[in-house]
A and B are shown apart, each in its own frame.
Chain A
Amino acid sequence: MLKDVTLGQFFPGDSFLHKADPRVKLVILVVYMVFVLLASNMASLGLVLLTTLALTLCSKIRFSVLLRSLKPVVFVLMFTGVINLFFTSGETPLIDWYFIEIYPEGIRTAVFMMVRLVCLVGGSSILLSYTTSPLALTDAIESLFGPLKKIRVPVHEFAMMMTIALRFIPTLLEETDKIMSAQKARGADFESGSILQKAKALIPILIPLFVSSFRRADELAEAMECRCYRGGEGRTKLNVLKSRPSDYAFLAVMLLLCVAVVLVSKYLTFTVGLFVL
C-alpha cells in the first residue's frame, strides 16, 4: 500500500543533533561539505571519517539506516571507483595485463574518492535530513533567506508552499490509493502490458488526482483567506527558531575541524611503499 512509504527521511529523536537549531545546522552542513572537500591526503581523510562517525554516534541513528542512505548513490560510487582505478596513471604499474594498467596511484585515488563520497552523502544525511523535521527545515530556510525579501525574492511564499506541500503529501497518497482501488474495481489493470499500455493505464488515476488537487487547492485558498491570510507581511510566528550557545559551539568546532583538515593535508603526508598517503 502506498501509505507505507516513509515521507522524507526524518527519524524523530531527542539527540543533540535533533535539538540543534535547524538554521545553524544548515550553515554547519555547508561548512561540513567544505571540510570534506578540503581533505586531500589519507590522514585528513581519516579525520573526516572520524568526524562523520562521531556525528552518527551523536545522532543515535543506527548504522544500518546510514548505510541505507547510500543506496541511491551506489552506482555513482562504483563508477567513481572504477574510473579512478583504471584511468589514473602513474610511473610504475602494479598490474599490466594486455590493455589494463593499474597504478598504485589509481588504487589510492579510487579509495580516497569513494570514502570521500560516502562521508559526504552519509554525513549530510545525518546532519540534516535524518535529524531535522521537514517543517523545521522549511522554517530554517525561510529565516536564513529572509534578507532576500529585500530584493523581492518571495521567500515567505516559497516557504508557505513547502509547508502546504508537506501537509498534503499524506492526504494525496491516501487519495491515490483510493482512486487506484476504485479503478481496479472497475477492471483497470496497472500491472500487465507493455510500457505504453502501462502508461496509458495511469490516465484514470492521474486525471482524477489532478482534478481533486485543484479542488483541494481552491478550497484551501478559501479557508486560508477566511483565516485572514494575506501573505507574509505583518505575519508573526508561534514557534520562533532559537539558537542556543551550544549550537554556536557546534559551529565553532566544525570550523576548527576545517582548519585542522587544511593543516593535516599540508603537513602530514606519508609514503608507505609504493603508496603516497
Chain B
Amino acid sequence: MSFIDIKNLSFFYDESDLAVLDNVSLSFEQGSYTAILGHNGSGKSTLAKLICGILQPTAGKITVAGLDTADEDTLWKLRSRCGMIFQNPDNQLVAGVVEEDVAFAPENLGYRRDEIRRRVDEALETVSMTEYASHATSKLSGGQKQRIAIAGVLAMRPDCIIFDEATAMLDPTGRREIVAAMKKLNREKNITVITITHYMAEAIEADRVVVLDHGKVLMDGTPREIFSHVDALKDASLSVPQVTELLHQLGGFPKGVLHTMEAADELQKALPRAILPKESEQKVQSAPAEPALEIKNVSVVYGEDTPFRKEALKNISVSFPKGEVIGIIGHTGSGKSTLASLLNGLRAPTAGEILLDGENIWAKPKEMKQIRSRVGLVFQYPEYQLFEETVQADIAFGPKNMKLSEEEISRRVQDAAHFCGLSVRELRKSPFELSGGQKRRAAIAGVVAMEPEVLVLDEPAAGLDPKGREEIFGGLMEYKERLHATLLLISHSMEEVARYADRILVLKNGEVYLYGTVEEVFGQAEKLFDAGLDLPQITKLFIELKKRALCTATDVYTVGYAKKQIERVLGC
C-alpha cells in the first residue's frame, strides 16, 4: 500500500455548491516528490487540508501511513506524521522566539525536555537556521520565516510534508531557499514532499506532476510528460516554461524539454554552425517622450540620528517618460517600495524633489490629496484594503474622496470595472464574497477609478495563476493605452517585466544600478546576476546559444521573438 492513498474522494464545502473535489483517486509513495498544479479554485489547497485531516471528505476515503483521516482516535498520530506548510509565513508562527516556535509541536506531543531540545536543534540545523535560535520571529525575512515553519514541522519528525503554495508570498531569493529546502528534505531525509504551486519552475524540480482542473485529476506523470501537453495545460489556465513553449511552437523538436541547457542541446542539433551577422533591433528606438514624473537627487534616510540609521535611497535621479510602461526590479530591500511611496507623497524625501508634470509635488503640501489622485498607487496584496459593503461602493471610495459628481463617479466605477474585468453582478456583491482573484481585481479597480496619469503597481499579479495574471495585465495595458497613462510596474518576475515593459529600472542597495530600454538592460546579463536578479529563461537560452556560436541575438526575452530569431537562422 502507498504512503498516502486517496480513493474516490469527493468534497463539497456546501451541499448546494459545486464539488470542490470530484471523485479523485491518487496515491503517493513514501519518499516521492510531487508537485500539484492547478488554477485558482481547482481544489489543490482543499486536497492538502483533506490529507492532513483538517477537513473531512464528503465521500471517499484517505489513508496516510495506513491511518484513516476520518478516524478521530488516530488523527493526532496522523498529523505528527504528515505536516503542512501554509502560504502566509506570518500566520503559522505561534511564538515570538524562533526556538520556542520550533518547539511548539514536540511540546504538544508531550516529549521530555531533552528530547524537545534535541529535535529543535536538529530541525533548525536542517533548515540552516541554527544561529537564529533566539531571534524574534517578527524580525526575520519571509524566506526565513517559512524556513522556521518548516523546522517547526520537522521537529515532529514527519514522513511527509505538504507545502501549500509555500513560496507564493516570497521574493525570488526566499523562493529559492524554500525549493532548496524541499529538495534537501526529499533527497537526504527521504521525506515525502507534496508541493502545491503556481510556479512552473518549481514544478519541474519534482519527480511527478499532478494537474488538477475543476476538482478532477486532469494529468498525472513526470514533468516531462506533463509539459509535453502544452495546449492542454493552457486550457487548464496554466503555463509552461519558456523554453518548452519555444520548442513546442517551433515544432519538430522533442516534447517536454524543460531546462535551458537541454533546449540549447536540442537546438544545436538543428541549427547550422555559422555565425550570422546581427540584424536590426527588435524595436525601433525612439526618443523618449517628455517625462510624466521626474525624480531629482532624491535621498531617503530612515531613523536619522539613531543607531538604526538606514539610507533607503541614495541620491537617485530618474525620469519616467509619458505613456510608457516602466518595470522596476531589484532584490528585497533595494528601495523599490520606498520609491513607490515617494511618488504620490505618502513619504517625503529626506533630500531632493519629485516633479509631476514639471511641478514639485511637495510645493503645496496641503494639496497632496490632488497629487494622490494623479499618481495612483496599488500596493502588494491590495485585496486586504477592501472595506465597503459592495464592490461598487469600494471602487467609488477613491473618486468620492476626489469630490466628483455622482454621474462622474458612476462612470468611473463602470470604466474601472471594465478595465479590471469585473461584471455588473460582481459589482453588487460584497467584496468579501469574491474569490481571491476577483478581490484583487476589485482592489486594483479602486485605484484605477481615480484615473491617475501615473499608475504605480507593486506586484499586481502576485499569487495568481497564469491566466489570472494575464487578464490583469491585459486590462492594465488597455487602461494605459486609452488614457495615455504611464505605468510603473514593480515586479519580481523577469518574464513579466520583459513582456510588458518598455523600459527597466534596476535598483540595488538604494541606488540606480541600471536604467534603460528592455534591450539595454537585459543585454547586461552579468550585471543583473550581480544584483541578485535573474533573467527570463528564454534570454538565458539565447546567451547559451551565443556561447555555442549558434545565434548572435542576445536581446531575446519573449517567446514570440525567440521563435522568429530561430526561424531566421533556420532560414524558413
Contact = CB atoms under 8 A, between A and B. Distances in A.
A182 B446 CA distance: 11
B86 A186 contact: no
- Chain B facing A: main interface SS: helix
B450 A181 contact: no
B108 A187 contact: no
Contact of A229 (B96, B108, B112, B450): B108
A223 B54 CA distance: 10
Interface in A114-159: 134-135
Interface residues of A, number: 46
A236 B112 contact: yes
Given A182-B385, A230-B76, A220 B110 contact: no
Contacts of A225: 54, 79
Contact of B108 (A185, A216, A219, A227): A227
Contacts of A219: 86, 88, 91-92
A207 B389 CA distance: 10
A187 B373 contact: yes
B344 A185 contact: yes
Contacts of A259: none
Given A189-B369, A225-B54, A226-B52, A175 B384 contact: yes
A108 to B, nearest CB: 45
Interface string B370-386: 00110011010010111
Interface residues of B, number: 62
A90 interface: no
Contacts of A175: 384
B86 A227 contact: no
Contacts of B104: 224, 227, 229
Nearest to A163: B95
Contact of B107 (A184, A185, A237): A237
Contact of B447 (A134, A185, A188, A228): A185
Interface in A72-127: none
B74 interface: no
A167 B109 CA distance: 22
Interface in B331-378: 341, 344, 346, 369, 372-373, 376-377
A236 B94 CA distance: 16
Given A163-B96, A185-B372, A236 B113 contact: yes
Contacts of A170: 138
A208 B387 contact: yes
Contacts of A30: none
Interface in A199-257: 203-204, 207-208, 211-212, 215-216, 219-220, 222-230, 234-240
B116 A236 contact: yes
Interface string A165-185: 011001100010011011111
B54 A222 contact: yes
Interface in B88-120: 88, 90-97, 99-100, 103-113, 116-117, 120
B442 interface: no
Contacts of B105: 227-228
Nearest to A223: B92
Contacts of B109: 228
A38 to B, nearest CB: 38
B393 to A, nearest CB: 11
A179 B379 CA distance: 9
Contact of B80 (A208, A228, A234, A237): A228
B83 A226 contact: yes
A27 interface: no
A187 B402 contact: yes
A164 interface: yes
A1 to B, nearest CB: 9
A61 to B, nearest CB: 18
Nearest to B116: A238
11 contacts: A164-B94, A178-B379, A178-B384, A179-B384, A185-B377, A186-B401, A222-B86, A227-B153, A236-B107, A236-B116, A237-B103
A-B residue pairs, 10 tightest by C-beta? A187-B401, A223-B92, A238-B103, A207-B387, A227-B105, A219-B91, A170-B138, A186-B398, A185-B377, A182-B385
Given A167-B138, A182-B379, 18 more contacts: A134-B96, A167-B93, A182-B384, A183-B385, A185-B344, A185-B379, A187-B372, A187-B402, A204-B385, A204-B387, A227-B79, A227-B83, A227-B94, A228-B108, A228-B156, A236-B107, A236-B116, A239-B100
